[in-house]
Amino acid sequence: MTGRPTTVRVAGGQGFWGDWLEAPYRQVTGGPVDYLMMDYLAEVTMSILQKQKSRDPARGYATDFVTQMERILPAVVERGIKVTANAGGVNPRACAMAVAAAAEKLRLNGTLKIGVVTGDDLLGRLDGLLARGHDLKNLDTGRPLKDVRDQVLSANAYLGAGPVVEALQRGAQVVITGRVTDTGLTLGPLMHAFGWTSDAWDQIAAGTVAGHIIECGAQCSGGNCLYDWKRIPDMANIGYPIVEARADGSFDIVKHPGTGGRIDIASVTEQLVYEMGDPRAYITPDGVADFTTIQLSQVSKDRVRVSGVRGKAATDKLKVSVAYFYGYKAVGTLVYSWPDALEKAKAADRILRERLDALGLKFEAIHTEFVGADATHGPLALKDVDVAAIPEVQLRVGVRARDEAPVDRFTREIAPLILNGPPSVTGFAGGRPKPEEIVAYWPALIDKKMVQPAVELIEA
């Protein structure tokens, strides 16, 4: 028998590309952990990376990850911690080579194995797939992808934990992937460590729930937590979450001692419901988790136990995320002060719209918000507010069009309002807004058998 561990600790180090740079280092040095998982890929990120790669074939990955690895590799190597990250973007191999170069300074003499997971990138295969009848219909609208084929910038299937497990089994200490699901980066280590088979549906579901809880970093340990938020301790020093899992699939959510934040049933529940669809069917490439079976209990301070998770068999599809060029948008803002702040802002909006109309500009949408009055809660907010007392309101007008010309003309219509519109206006120091390209997102499904994940190992 191989010696299986009784518990495995997977630490969440980054909830998105742009998350706290201090968190990974704190996770690997603040106490014992076996794995560090880091999520870098939002839907729109892939298209940005694809654009970078088209300009320079050596790019197309999350460069911050390499800087981060330079910092944490000494501790990671010394402590034998394994790292899983989807920082590879659309160029996992180049990302791995960059990490290998960073590792060279540590003189590891080829002892660091970096696993590279590819096979998710469908951009080069797209026409072949469409020709063979995989029409990649938009899950929301039902339209076939051929309608926007010419505008497609990136297309990636979401891979599951499988190739992460394979890389770990082949001895990788660092696993760098492209579009692997956020949850797969946590589930993979647990499957590998406990020897869970790919049809152990309850354990797969449990590992998926564990991954969901820690994939947004501190958002389960007191960050962005509405419940009792004023009394969440020492947020400046917030502890990122750690899954402490057992072979039966039950696990605790904990954090390193001495860190801030809070792990309780409220903070974990808020993260469980985040971005949730049908709770009975949380679908990943690895299986289907039933969130209505999750049982939570507070075992001790900052330790919440998760048990009872049930799962069902995986589907025969993979989700595909396609990014395509959509058009242009721009947002202009001005700030109006008391007295009559909201009335002035509303008047300015009316005048602006009249001028845009007189210019004959055609937009797909014009959207006005009065920040400080109705931007986040719409008309619901104004019922409860003494409108006359509002000290200032930011007028925020956005426009969207398929062509750049009307959007560009719009950006020149904001500043004139300062001198030729309603009074008491300020807050324009940022200058004229810039038209921005819109890259839109097209969710679709593809037959699993059409996507073959690949794993290779690089020694550094």
Pick the closer one to other proteins by CB: 296 or 351.
296
Residue closer to other proteins by CB (options 248, 278) is 278
Cβ atoms 390, 338 nearer than 8 A: yes
Would you say 207 or 398 has its CB closer to other proteins?
398
In terms of CB distance, is 118 or 156 closer to other proteins? 156
- Kindly list the residues in this chain that would bind other proteins in the complex (CB under 8 A): 43-44, 140, 224, 226-227, 266, 269-280, 291-296, 326, 329, 331, 365, 367, 369, 371, 375-381, 384, 396, 398-400, 438-441, 443
Nearest to residue 20, comparing CAs of 197, 200, 282, 236?
A: 236
CB of 177 to other proteins, least distance (A): 22
Distance in Å, CB of 295 to other proteins, minimum: 6
Taking the complex as a whole, how short is the minimal distance between the CB of residue 405 and other proteins, in angstroms?
18
CB atoms within 10 A of CB 144: 15
Give residues with Cβ within 8 angstroms of 119, minimum separation 6. Answer: 157, 159, 163, 178, 451, 452, 453, 454
Nearest residue (CB) to other proteins, 174 versus 318: 318
Strand pairing of 310-312 and 303-307? unpaired
Could you tell me if 148 and 324 are in contact, meaning their C-beta atoms sit under 8 angstroms apart? yes
Residue placing its CB nearer to other proteins in the complex, 65 or 410: 410
Considering the complex, what minimum distance in angstroms separates the CB of residue 227 from other proteins? 4
Phi-psi region of 401 (alpha: psi -120 to 50; beta: other; left: phi over 0): beta
Q: Give the separation between CA 393 and CA 281, rounded to whole angstroms.
A: 43
List residues bridging with 456 in a β-sheet: 116
Long-range CB contacts (< 8 A, 24+ apart) of 15-21?
15/39, 15/215, 15/216, 15/217, 15/218, 15/219, 16/40, 16/42, 16/216, 16/217, 17/41, 17/42, 17/45, 17/62, 17/64, 17/87, 19/217, 20/217, 20/218, 20/240, 21/64, 21/68
Determine contact, residues 231/46, Cβ cutoff 8 Å.
no
Distance CA 295, CA 305 (A): 8
- In the complex, minimum distance from the CB of residue 16 to other proteins, in angstroms, rounded to a whole number: 12
| Amino acid identity at 311 | G
3-state SS class at 328: strand
In the block, residue with structure tokens 């890389």 = 167
Nearer to other proteins by Cβ, of 44 and 75: the residue is 44
**C-beta of residue 227 within 8 angstroms of C-beta of residue 270:** yes
Nearest to other proteins of 257, 379 (CB atom) = 379
Q: What are the E-state strand segments in 338-424?
A: 365-371, 392-401
Q: How far is the CB of 224 from other proteins (least distance, A)?
A: 8
CB-wise, 77 or 331, nearer to other proteins? 331
The helix (H) or strand (E) run that includes residue 330 is strand 317-337
Cβ-based nearer residue to other proteins, 293 or 315: 293
Smallest distance, Å, CB 45 to other proteins? 11
**Shortest distance, CB of residue 260 to other proteins, whole angstroms?**
20
298 touches 304 (CB < 8 A): yes
| Whole-angstrom distance, CA of residue 285 vs CA of residue 317 | 7
Closest approach of other proteins to the CB of residue 5, in Å: 28
Residues counted in the chain: 460
Q: Which is nearer to other proteins, 240 or 291 (CB)?
A: 291
Residue found by looking up tokens 């201090």 in the block: 22
CB of 458 to other proteins, least distance (A): 34
Provide the minimum distance between the beta carbon of 116 and other proteins in the complex, in angstroms, as a whole number. Answer: 29
